[in-house]
Amino acid sequence: MNTVLQLPRGSEIFCAWAENCSGPGWTNRLVWVLIRDADGRFRIEGIQPEDQTPVMRALFNTSAAVSAEMLLAVRVMEQKKED
């Protein structure tokens, strides 16, 4: 279907990344979109597989792999609690 995100005036896409999501008995391949609204607030919307563009599908595995590794790297660098 390739649905286009509709953004209010003054909003912009700040970042997008792919993620393989799963739980007991389900899986999904979402493209998450971080949006900065005109008032400066951030929000996230997910794009379902059937709404992803051909380019999103082509880049999905690479983006998901980089996102997963970046998440692990950030967790490794968490500040240690001082005694």
Note the pLDDT tens digit of each residue in 29-45.
999 999 999 999 999 99
What distance in Å separates the CA atoms of residue 22 and residue 79, rounded to the nearest whole number? Answer: 29
Per-residue pLDDT tens digits for 63-82: 999 999 998 888 765 567 77
Q: How far are the Cα atoms of 5, 7, 9, 67, 76 from residue 36, in angstroms, in the given order?
A: 13, 10, 11, 20, 27
Residues with Cβ within 8 Å of residue 45, at least 6 apart in sequence: 5, 32, 33, 35
Instruction: Provide φ and ψ at 47, rounded to 5°.
Output: -105, 120
Domains of the chain by residue range: 12-76
pTM: 0.82
Number of CB atoms found within 10 A of residue 47's CB: 20
